[in-house]
Structure 1
Amino acid sequence: MTDYLLQMSVPLSLLLIALLLAQQYLLKPLGARTLYALWAAVPLLLLCASITSLLPQVVEAGAIKRYQVGIQQLTAAAGNINWLFWLWLAGVMLCSSFLLLSYISGRAQFNRAAPLSGTNTPAYCRQADSSSGPYITGLITPRIILPHDFFTRFDATQQRLILQHELTHWRRGDLHLNYLALVLVSLFWFNPLVWLAYRQYRNAQELACDALVTKNASKAERIAYGYALLSSTQQSSANWWPLTHHYGDFNTMKQRITQLQRQQGISKTVVLGAMALVIAATLLLQQPVMAGVSKTQQLAAVMRIEPRYPLQAAEQGISGYVQIKFDVDAQGKVINASVVKSSPEQVFDKEALRALTQWQYTATGKLHLAQMVQLDFELDTVQADIERVSVTPAAKKG
Structure 2
Amino acid sequence: MSKLMELLLEIHWLVLASSSLILIIRFLAYRYLSPITRYSLWISIPLTIAVWLLYPEQLRSAQFYPTQLSETIKDTSAILASTSYFSFVVSFYLIIALALFLFQIISLFSIALQSSKLSNHRFSFDNRARLKVLVSENNIGPAVFGLLSPKLLLPKSIIDHYTHTDIQLILKHEQVHWQRRDPWLNALGLMLRSLCWINPLAWYSFKLFQRDQEIACDAAVCARFNAQQKAEYATLLLSQTSGRTPALLANWASPKLIKERIMNIKTLKNVKNQTLSLLFACSFISISATAFTNANKNEEPLPLTITQPSYPVDALKNNIEGYVRFSFDLDGNGNPTNINIVESSPDNIFDNEAMNAISKWKFNQKNVKDAYYTLEFKLQ
Same fold (TM over 0.5): yes
Counterparts of 1:288 and 1:129, CA distance in 2: 53
Where 1:264 maps in the other structure, the secondary structure is coil
Give deviations 1:241-298, integer Å, cap 9, x for gaps: 11112213111100101111212316545434433433443564455444422xxx2x
Matched, 1:96 2:101: yes
Of 40, 62, 78, the residue aligned with 2:43 is: 40
Q: 1:99 corresponds to which letter in structure 2?
A: Q
TM-aligned CA distance change 1:49 to 1:22, over 3 Å: same
Contact map agreement 2:17 2:292 (CA 8 A) in 1:
no
Contact map agreement 1:22 1:35 (CA 8 A) in 2:
no
Counterparts of 2:369 and 2:61, CA distance in 1: 6
Of 17, 21, 31, the residue aligned with 2:20 is: 17
Where 2:149 maps in the other structure, the secondary structure is coil
| Residue of structure 2 equivalent to 1:181 | 189
Counterparts of 1:119 and 1:257, CA distance in 2: 27
Contact map agreement 1:74 1:304 (CA 8 A) in 2:
no
Counting matched residue pairs gives: 322
Q: 1:39 corresponds to which letter in structure 2?
A: W
Shift of 1:28: 3.0
Give deviations 1:99-131, integer Å, cap 9, x for gaps: 321231231132133212679897710222232
Contact map agreement 2:131 2:150 (CA 8 A) in 1:
no
Where 1:26 maps in the other structure, the secondary structure is helix
TM-aligned CA distance change 1:78 to 1:17, over 3 Å: closer
Contact map agreement 2:133 2:151 (CA 8 A) in 1:
yes
| Residue of structure 1 equivalent to 2:116 | 111
Counterparts of 2:196 and 2:213, CA distance in 1: 21
Where 2:298 maps in the other structure, the secondary structure is helix
Matched, 1:228 2:236: yes
TM-aligned CA distance change 1:271 to 1:221, over 3 Å: closer
Matched, 1:253 2:279: no
Higher Rg: 1
Q: 1:159 corresponds to which letter in structure 2?
A: I
**TM-score after normalising by structure 1:** 0.68
Shift of 1:368: 6.8
TM-aligned CA distance change 1:119 to 1:163, over 3 Å: closer
Matched, 1:155 2:163: yes
Contact map agreement 1:135 1:145 (CA 8 A) in 2:
yes
TM-aligned CA distance change 1:279 to 1:243, over 3 Å: closer
Of 227, 238, 242, the residue aligned with 2:247 is: 242
Where 2:152 maps in the other structure, the secondary structure is strand
Counterparts of 2:11 and 2:189, CA distance in 1: 16
| Residue of structure 1 equivalent to 2:142 | 134
Q: 1:163 corresponds to which letter in structure 2?
A: L
Matched, 1:281 2:283: no
Counterparts of 1:365 and 1:224, CA distance in 2: 59
Of 166, 169, 185, the residue aligned with 2:174 is: 166
TM-aligned CA distance change 1:267 to 1:199, over 3 Å: farther
Counterparts of 2:161 and 2:237, CA distance in 1: 12
Of 287, 302, 305, the residue aligned with 2:304 is: 302
Q: Percent identity?
A: 21
Matched, 1:333 2:319: no
| Residue of structure 1 equivalent to 2:270 | 264
Gaps of 5+ in 1: 306-325, 337-355, 372-384, 389-398
Counterparts of 1:116 and 1:275, CA distance in 2: 39
Shift of 1:180: 1.4
Give deviations 1:114-169, integer Å, cap 9, x for gaps: 21267989771022223222111111111111111223322122111100111110
TM-aligned CA distance change 1:284 to 1:27, over 3 Å: closer
Where 2:134 maps in the other structure, the secondary structure is strand
TM-aligned CA distance change 1:109 to 1:23, over 3 Å: farther
Counterparts of 1:269 and 1:152, CA distance in 2: 42
| Residue of structure 2 equivalent to 1:26 | 29
Counterparts of 1:148 and 1:163, CA distance in 2: 14
Q: 2:228 corresponds to which letter in structure 1?
A: A
Where 2:212 maps in the other structure, the secondary structure is helix
Gaps of 5+ in 2: 308-327, 338-358
Q: 360-369 vs 83-92, which deviates more?
A: 360-369
Where 1:35 maps in the other structure, the secondary structure is helix
Shift of 1:30: 1.8
| Residue of structure 2 equivalent to 1:85 | 90
Q: 1:274 corresponds to which letter in structure 2?
A: F
Question: RMSD across aligned C-alpha pairs, in angstroms?
Answer: 3.9
Contact map agreement 2:186 2:249 (CA 8 A) in 1:
no
Counterparts of 1:77 and 1:286, CA distance in 2: 30
